[in-house]
Amino acid sequence: MPRGAFKVIETPARVTGAEMDRPLAKRRPNYVLIAVGVVALLIAIAAIVQLIPHGLRVSKADIRIATVETGVFRNDVVVRATVNPLHTTILDALDSGRVEEVLAIDGARVEKGELLYRLSNPTLGLDLVARQADRAQQISNLSNLRVSLEASQTEHQRRMLDLSFALAQIQRQNTRFVSLAQSGVIPVSTLEDSNDKLTQQRQAIEAELSRTRIEMNIKRDGIQKMEQAVRQLDAGLQVVTESIAALAVRAPVAGRLTDFHLQVGEIVKSEQHIGRIDDPGRFKLVAQIDEYFLTRVAVAQQGAAIFNNRDWSVQVSQIFPQIEDGRFSIELLFAAAAPPGLSPGQSAQMRITLGGTSRGLILPDDAYLNDTGGSWVFVLSPDGTTARRRAIHVGRRNSSQVEVASGLQSGERVIVSAYAPFGNTQRLQLTN
């Protein structure tokens, strides 16, 4: 560039927002997005509300509710009882066999000694023949022993006669030798020989007696044992004979034959249950009672059984304290005459009096007592929308009522159905 010349510098144009201040077209609101947002907000609020602890939700249709009332507590227990014969004789087979003949029918009345059915058992017949043969053999052996004993006794008597005769001769000879020796007619040695013979003969007699005594004792002992064996065989033979006779089964007592269903040709096993004979005129009642009442029921306690819309006085005669499935059994007898037309197996409602009646707060006896033992219940709020757990104390119970001692007031409503589905929750939210 030449000296003295000027360079022209161009200044850029100033940028302003005038070009941007153009009016925009007015946009209409998106109502769909607004609606979606409102719905999402409501769902979020509902979820938060659900997270707030209101208790376990339970439908009222799934529970039972009862109202605490002031009423009369009946101190009794109502149960179902079954009619049973007072006395029953069980018929069990003593021996096995095949049924050859049936002469009685189920339900018939039988007399004592009446033939019911007849069995056959070839094994018993063979056993009888074998035992009879053994007995005959033993009797033959016993006879031989007795004959041998008699023969031995006879032989002993003969020997004793010979020995006694010889002893008498030696004694007479010895007496003569004593006189002659004193007179000097015979030498002393002759007398000594005579004395030795006399001693020897006496020892022979003693030996014979001892030997015979031992022999007789042995043979008599053998005879006694043989006689005992024969008696045992006789006893066994008697048992087999009675078993064969028992194949013709007779009624041991008079009564009504029950549960008797034998058929001809059927095989009966030993100790098999055949039936029973019931006392047809006298009955007892058997009832199952909740174990809660075990300590409150006693022998001689009074009650009433309902037959034909009439109360019949009964009395507890026996208690079986064994608990089975939460219940124990009792037997009751009619205090007077039994109702007419009773049949074994018939059932009736029965009431046992445990004490006098009294007034108090009453709740029904229901499943909640089994779950809590009567220590707490769920009590409904006045509006019936919730139920809270509350500790209570109960008193006496019967089959339909429980006496409330404390913790509840008359008019309050309580859930009385099972509490197991509620777990350990302290509050319930009830829904329709």
pLDDT at 2: 46
User: What's the pLDDT tens digit per position in 283-303?
Assistant: 899 999 888 888 888 898 888
Sequence-distant (6+) residues with CB within 8 A of 96 are 121, 267, 268, 269, 270, 272
Strand partners, 256: 109, 278
Separation of alpha carbons 326 and 428, rounded Å: 30
pLDDT at 116: 93
What would the two tokens of residue 159 be?
């020997």
pLDDT at 28: 57
Among 342, 352, 347, 336, residue whose Cα is nearest residue 283: 342
Residue labelled with tokens 């007619």? 185
Q: 122-246 architecture in CATH?
A: Orthogonal Bundle (1.10)
Question: What CATH code is assigned to 56-73+358-431?
Answer: 2.40.420.20
CATH fold of 77-86+281-353 = Elongation Factor Tu (Ef-tu); domain 3 (2.40.30)
User: What's the pLDDT tens digit per position in 162-173?
Assistant: 888 888 888 888
Query: Where are the alpha helices (H) located in 111-270, listed in sequence order?
Result: 122-183, 188-246
The string of DSSP codes covering 322-336 is EEETTEEEEEEEESS
What residue ranges of the chain have pLDDT lower than 70?
1-33, 44-54
DSSP 8-state assignment for residue 349: E
Widest CA span in the chain: 226
Does the predicted TM-score (pTM) go above 0.85? no
Domain ranges of the chain: 56-73+358-431, 77-86+281-353, 91-112+252-275, 122-246
Separation of alpha carbons 115 and 162, rounded Å: 69
pLDDT at 16: 52
Query: The dihedral of CA 140, 142, 144, 150: what is its sign?
Result: negative
pLDDT at 424: 87
Q: For strand 248-250 and strand 76-85, is the pairing parallel, antiparallel, or unpaired? A: unpaired
